[in-house]
Amino acid sequence: MAKYVILIYEDEASWANAGQQEYGQVLKEHTEFGEHNARVLQGGNALQPTNTATSIRKDASGSFAVTDGPFVETKEALGGYYLIEAANLDEAIGIAKQVPAPFGGVEVRPIRVFD
């Protein structure tokens, strides 16, 4: 078995404009996804939007530059993730297809193992 992280990228503006009902519907779908895949789920979280993000970078002189905002501004931003266990990429893709992402899509990345 291997571990993969499913990164959820969605348009934040669409989320901000979503009505209460739509919001509730997507949350319900996430709950159902979690129940349905409890066997392989190792963790996961929803993130606050990128307007809450703070980026920290060490500059050439060795001091830290702390700035408001995400590392990279993109239309579809990382909004949450799941950590899963799967036998292979096909299985991971199969699980990723079930992740609700009405305003974007998901990306599957294998977790790197150091031995």
Partner 1 sequence: MAPDSSVAAAVADAHRREWAFVLAATVRVTRSLDLAEECVQDAYAQALATWASRGIPANQGAWLTTVARRRAVDLLRHDASLRRSLPLLLDDQVEPGPDEIALHELAVDDVALDEIADDRLRLIFTCCHPAIAAEAQVALTLRLFCGLTTAEVARAFLVSEPTMAARITRAKKKIAAARIPYRVPPAGELPARIDAVLTVVHLLFTTGHTAPAGHDLVRRDLVERSLDLARMLRALLPTDADVAGLLALILLTDARTVTRVDDDGRLLLLAEQDRTQWDRHAISEGIALVREALRRRPPGRFALMAAIAAVHAEAPAWQDTDWCEVVALYNLLVQIWPSPVVALNRAVAVGLADGPDAGLRALEALADEPQLAGYSYLAAARADMLRRLGRTVEARACYEEALLLTENTVERDFLTARLQQLGE
Give contact residues for partner 1 (rule: CB under 8 A).
2, 87-90, 93, 108, 110, 112
- Tell me the C-alpha distance between 102 and 50, whole Å: 18
